[in-house]
Amino acid sequence: TDLWALGAHYVSVTPLRLDRTDDEFSEELTATLK
């Protein structure tokens, strides 16, 4: 769990959900990752 990770001095990363309907952002992200 996140609390265990923090207590054990690890970094806890929460996955984020991308808005795939945002075409402009999606195109910028694709160009950046190429």
What is the per-residue pLDDT for 32? 93
Number of domains in the chain: 1
Q: Cα dist. 20→6, 13, 17, 23, 24 in Å? A: 31, 21, 9, 7, 10
pLDDT in tens, 10-27: 998 877 877 778 899 889
**pTM assigned to the model:** 0.40
Parent domain of 18:
2-33
Burial 15-31 (b: 16+ CB within 10 A, else e): eeeeeeeeeeeeeeeee
Is the confidence at residue 31, as pLDDT, over 90? yes
